[in-house]
Amino acid sequence: MSITNIDCYSISHEKEYDLAMLDPPFDKWNEMQKIPVKAKTYVCFTNFQNRHHVQNIFGNPKFEMIWHFKDGRWVSNKMPRHTHEHILIYGELRYDAFTGEISNNRKPIKKGKGSIGRDTDLGERTYTPRERKMLNSVIEIPRNVGKELGVWGKPIDLIYPIMSWLTKENESVWDGFAGSGTFGCVAKSLSLQYDGFEIDKDTTIAANKRIEKYNQKKRGIKTLLDGW
Ligand SMILES: C[S@@+](CC[C@H](N)C(=O)[O-])C[C@H]1O[C@@H](n2cnc3c(N)ncnc32)[C@H](O)[C@@H]1O
């Protein structure tokens, strides 16, 4: 559960990971010559300008998500600002796209006669809707939560539902471009095995401290889930 200060392209991994998170600086996607690690599922973070580089390497995604901060983050005074980023997902999608536990506290909804297809003979009946929360393909994060994320750090509220969708406890995660260590924090709270790599030494030290200190309960990481 830590980040190594190394160029992730210089490592040759024997192992196949369950999940690889690829979040390089977006303008460096064109330098990626091949997929740097073997994994069952790949999550690639990019933007409108660079997504074609991702598709040159990986092909058409199996699933795509768009996310943005409600109050924006990437600002240009020369043109309308690009606020939305793309998340392209490849490989196996092994689990339901639900996040959070099933809630048993809700009241069943009453439905009238004939409302449920071929059960027309059954008279009025009740059913309990699926109370788990769906992960949407467009995700809005309430606001840019501050300095800790720098110019590129991903918010925990975005990453937590995605990683909890794609993994089960104890599975392995590769994070070649670890930055501020967000994926490591989430891996810690989901009890995953995490191998992070970061080329910049100071960033590595700061991110390792962040992961070590990270305590899920202190942050409102469920804010996004609760809002759904
Ligand atoms: C977009 S940031 C990652 C942000 C991170 N996911 C987070 O949420 O904080 C990209 C990071 O990749 C690092 N990086 C760039 N090239 C790298 C390489 N070849 N190997 C490892 N890290 C690299 C950069 O120093 C930068 O910190």
pLDDT at 155: 87
| Residue with the larger pLDDT of the pair 70 and 3 | 3
Mean pLDDT, the chain, rounded, equals: 81
In this predicted structure, which of 39-53, 67-81, 106-120, 193-207 has the lowest mean pLDDT? Answer: 106-120
Pocket test for ligand 1, best of 152, 173, 183 (most atoms within 8 A of CB): 152
How far, in whole angstroms, is CA 224 from its chain's centroid? 13
pLDDT tens profile 104-115:
555 555 555 444
Q: How far from 219 is each of 70, 79, 133, 141, CA to CA, in Å? A: 19, 35, 20, 15
> From CA 52, how far away is CA 119, in angstroms rounded?
49
Average pLDDT over residues 84-107: 77
Average pLDDT over residues 67-76: 72
Q: Ligand 1: distance of its center to the CA of 197 in Å?
A: 8
Average pLDDT over residues 204-214: 94
Q: Ligand 1: distance of its center to the CA of 194 in Å?
A: 15
- Collapsing DSSP to helix, strand or coil, 150 comes out as coil
Percent of the chain with pLDDT over 70: 72
Domains of the chain: 2-97+135-227 (3.40.50.150), 102-133 (no CATH)
Average pLDDT over residues 84-100: 85
